Every structure is written in structure tokens, then in C-alpha cells.
């Protein structure tokens, strides 16, 4: 299994930490958008990206019918088979930010790719569809295991029961240190808010190392 250890000089890392930033230049951060199959990852990246997002969607086929359960997302026709990529500038954040967003494929069988996509990231958003909560355990465990700070964003689907974030925290057995927020993945300001929550969290809980954020009062307050 590939090592999750970030390699600071790897060009795939794509992260310029504050220590490398020029005065006035935005801090460039890589962020992973993860979650179970159909949780809204591609939608979230597309909602906030200021460039046409790169996506790798393929039609679901009958061959995958026994592999990718469509229960709760019966209308779903495509799935991400590699990754989504988008970019978001937040010049008015307390520290100007440029976020590179990498959306993962949802199915557990692509977990090797999750390692690659997580290399050099400062943190991850785990999108949760409460109709299929069980599909969130694998991504949550994944980020716990590799030690990457993450936040949980409950994506409210139309008609789905609305659970309180604390109920979701309890169901996923998350420690109080992990922020749990709610959003609509189609709403750009919701996703921008989730990303700022993640950046603030990542600053606070980043593992020590050359490729990670240094805590600053300003970013913690972002
Ligand atoms: N009503 C509603 N529909 C949503 C929301 N987010 C996503 N969808 C829809 O749900 C479906 C799945 O969304 P995707 O963004 O493809 O989900 P994904 O997590 O990227 O899926 P995979 O890559 O296959 O794991 C799409 O038809 C979206 O339009 C939401 O917040 N509300
Ligand atoms: Mg997708």
C-alpha cells in the first residue's frame, strides 16, 4: 500500500505553505474533498470552483450494479473514476487564500487513489449523506489513520431527515475536536464556509512537519 507520508518536494504536493509565501501573495493550499459514494463531492467542487472543474465522470453501468449500491441515490447516472479538480481564491479571508480542491472517487475500491490525492494536503472535507451514513465510516477512518485533519460536512439532500450535527458526531463516533457542520453541496457560499472551517481546523491540528501550516492567530480565526 502506498505511503501516506507527504513528500515536501514532490511536485504533486502542490502546496505552498505560509513560510514559502511572498508578502501579499495568497497562501496556496491543497484540500481533499472526500466522502462516500454519491455524497456530493463532484457537486461541491463544481459549486465553488472559479475555473471549469476538471472531472472524470463515467456512466454507471449494469456491470457495477452489484458493486455501487444506488440505494438512496437512484437517480445517479455517473460516478467519479479518478478525481475532480477545482480552484477557489479567497482574497478577503483574514489571510488571502488560494485553494486547490481535489475531489476523491467515492467507492472504497479506489482507496489507493485517496492516498495519492491526500499527499501534501492540509486537510480534508468529508461530505456525509445521512441517508447512507455507513458509507462515511471508510473516509473518516482513512483520514484518522493517516493523521490528516478533517471536518465533516453534512450535505442536506432534499427530503432527507435533518439530523443535528451532534447526532451525526455521535453516530460517526467523532471526537469533539472534529468540526461537524451542515451544508448544501450545491451552494457556493456554504462550501466556501466549510473550506474556511477546515483551514482554521487544519491550522490548529496540523501535524508538525515542513509541509504543514504553522498556526497563526489570524488563520485560526478564519
Ligand atoms: N438535492 C441535492 N442533491 C445533491 C446535493 N449534492 C449533490 N446532489 C446530487 O446528488 C448526485 C450525486 O452527486 P455527486 O456530486 O456526483 O456525488 P459524488 O460524491 O461526487 O459521487 P461519486 O463521485 O460517484 O462518489 C448528483 O445528482 C447531484 O446533483 C445536495 O446538496 N442536494
Ligand atoms: Mg464524484
| DSSP output for the chain | -------TT-TTT--B-GGGPPTTSPEEEEEEEEESTTSSHHHHHHHH-SSPPB--EEE--GGGTTTS--TT-TT--EEESS-EEEEEEETTSSS-EEEEEEEPPSSGGGHHHHHHHHTT-SEEEEEE-GGGGGGGHHHHHHHHHHT--EEEEEE--TTS----HHHHHHHHT--TTS-EEEE-TT-HHHHHHHHHHHHHHHHHHPPSSTTSPPP-HHHHT-
Q: Which chain residues have CB less than 5 Å from ligand 2, an ion?
A: 41-42, 80
Give 148-168 pLDDT, tens digit per residue.
999 999 999 999 999 999 999
pLDDT surpasses 80 at 50: yes
Query: What is the atom index within ligand 1 of the atom nearest the CA of 127?
Result: 19
Short-list 100, 58, 60, 104, CA closest to 84: 104
Looking at mean pLDDT, say which of 55-64, 114-123, 212-221 comes out highest.
114-123
Task: Say if CB 195 and CB 99 are below 8 A apart.
Answer: yes
Task: Say if CB 151 and CB 178 are below 8 A apart.
Answer: yes
Give 170-208 pLDDT, tens digit per residue.
999 999 999 999 999 999 999 999 999 999 999 988 766
pLDDT surpasses 80 at 222: no
Give 118-149 pLDDT, tens digit per residue.
999 999 999 999 999 999 999 999 999 999 99
Please tell me the residue having the least CA distance from ligand 1 atom 29.
Answer: 43
**What kind of fold does domain 24-205 have according to CATH?**
Rossmann fold (3.40.50)
Which pLDDT score is estimated for 67?
61
Higher pLDDT, 80 or 2: 80
Which pLDDT score is estimated for 206?
73
Please tell me the residue having the least CA distance from ligand 1 atom 2.
Answer: 157
**Who lines ligand 1 at CB under 6 A?**
35, 37-43, 73, 76, 79-80, 105-106, 155, 157-158, 184-186
Amino acid at each position: 500500500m502506498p505511503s501516506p507520508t507527504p513528500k515536501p518536494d514532490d511536485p504533486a504536493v502542490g502546496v505552498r505553505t505560509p513560510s514559502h509565501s511572498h508578502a501579499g501573495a495568497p497562501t496556496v493550499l491543497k484540500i481533499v474533498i472526500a466522502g462516500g459514494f454519491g455524497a456530493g463531492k463532484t457537486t461541491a467542487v463544481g459549486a465553488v470552483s472559479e475555473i471549469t472543474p476538471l472531472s472524470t465522470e463515467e456512466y454507471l453501468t449494469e456491470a457495477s450494479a452489484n458493486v455501487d449500491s444506488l440505494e438512496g441515490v437512484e437517480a445517479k447516472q455517473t460516478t467519479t473514476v479518478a478525481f475532480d479538480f477545482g480552484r477557489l481564491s479567497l482574497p478577503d479571508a483574514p489571510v488571502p487564500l488560494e485553494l486547490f480542491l481535489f475531489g476523491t472517487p467515492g467507492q472504497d475500491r479506489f482507496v489507493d487513489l485517496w492516498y495519492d490525492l491526500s499527499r501534501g494536503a492540509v486537510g480534508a472535507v468529508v461530505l456525509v449523506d445521512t441517508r447512507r451514513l455507513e458509507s462515511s465510516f471508510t473516509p473518516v477512518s482513512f483520514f484518522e489513520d493517516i493523521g490528516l485533519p478533517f471536518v465533516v460536512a453534512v450535505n442536506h439532500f432534499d427530503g432527507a431527515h435533518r439530523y443535528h450535527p451532534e447526532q451525526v458526531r455521535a453516530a460517526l463516533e467523532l471526537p469533539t475536536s472534529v468540526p461537524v457542520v451542515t451544508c448544501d453541496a450545491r451552494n457556493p457560499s456554504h462550501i466556501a464556509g466549510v473550506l474556511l472551517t477546515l483551514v482554521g481546523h487544519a491550522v490548529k491540528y496540523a501535524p508538525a512537519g515542513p509541509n504543514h501550516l504553522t498556526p497563526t492567530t489570524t488563520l485560526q480565526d478564519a
